Amino acid sequence: MLPKWFDKWNADHPTNVFGPAILVGVVGGAIFAAAMVVTWGNPVATSSLQTGPRGTGMSVPEFNIALAVPDPTIASYYTEEPYIPEAGAPLAGDIYQNVQVLGDLTEDNFNRLMGAITQWVSPEGGCAYCHGDGDVETYGEDTLYTKVVARRMIQMTQNINENWAGHVNANKEVGVNCYSCHRGQNVPSDIWFKITPVNERVDGWSAVQNRATSLSQATSLPSGALEAYLTDYEPVNVHDLESRVAGTPGVDVASIQKTEMTYSLMNYFANSLGVNCVFCHNSRAFYDGGQNTPQWGTALLGRQMVIEMNTEYLVPLEDEYPPERLGPIYADAPKAACKTCHKGYQQPLQGLNVIADWPELATSEAPVYQ
């Protein structure tokens, strides 16, 4: 019905109607999405923990969706209310043989705690993991290294709760017990062994330093930071702010090598807690301790606590372990660090109070039951 010239013109000059339609659709979809975000809220909103004065960038942002996800190991945590002792009730130390710790507990609370430790440390192995397959009459024997180690770990746990409340209870009472590290495993995850110097290149400060290791958090930073700073009270410091400093590196001034060692430790701290540098420091003045956050003091106590754990409790057990439990390179004892408890969270088990039902582990003296 249309003139032939019109049909011919359209055939010679085709029009792309899809391009404009797609453009309109994309723009319309973006406007709709923006309207939904304004109306219903940002689905990937973040919350920030303010760690310093506003306007200085001192905050730790986290996605709300991530904050809402609990530590999956919390669901497997076993706890049980204590039995209030009756006057004159017999004590475990009088009933059982060779009870070197926890002897001042009543029989009911002693067995209750032994059952909990089994759930926390060896849910599959059961009592035999520490006591062997013999009869109950043989439970007093120290024939297995696991029992000797467990006894010392109970003492370590009591010491942490008794003397390091400034770290473990910095925000509220949470304490620690065996589950804080073990999470149902015989051997806790995120323990560490000495691996340096495997060779000079891994030891740091060389022309070919780009060797990443697990202890340096997959970076080319020195891998001996945990050995240097978590088994010794060696000062953690960095190179001077000035380009030329009088003095002897490693004696009265910090060397660049020590700076890199410090960076390696700080990187480990951040990954252990799932935070960044401004969780403890003011990013405009890392060198100024007066501008650090309160979390810095908590972390400092944590480092001192870990040093004591390693030097007083874990390293001295080296002769008790079988070869398969020692380090793969130097046959050293397993050691703990921040990640052993924190496992990527600011607070282990996201602040779950793990001594509320276990006053026996909160003190080396006779516990007080509420």
Annotated binding-site members for heme: 114, 127, 130-131, 153, 167, 178, 181-182, 266, 277, 280-281, 338, 341-342
User: 3-state class of 97 per DSSP?
Assistant: coil
Which uninterrupted H or E stretch holds 62?
strand 59-63
Binding residues: 114, 127, 130-131, 153, 167, 178, 181-182, 266, 277, 280-281, 338, 341-342
**What is the C-alpha separation between 149 and 8, in angstroms, rounded?**
94
**What is the C-alpha separation between 356 and 74, in angstroms, rounded?**
15
Which spans in 99-164 are helix H? 107-121, 128-131, 145-163
**What is the C-alpha separation between 16 and 28, in angstroms, rounded?**
20
The dihedral formed by the CA atoms of 258, 264, 270 and 271, expressed in degrees to the nearest 10: -170
Decide if 130 contacts 144 (C-beta within 8 A).
yes
**What is the C-alpha separation between 267 and 360, in angstroms, rounded?**
35
User: 3-state class of 31 per DSSP?
Assistant: helix
Phi, psi of 200 (to 5 degrees): -65, -30
Beta bridge partners of 63: 46
What the block records as the tokens of 228 is 């240097």
> For the residues of 163-206, what is the DSSP string, one character each?
H-HHHHTSSS-----HHHHHTT-SS-TT-B-----SSTTTTSSS
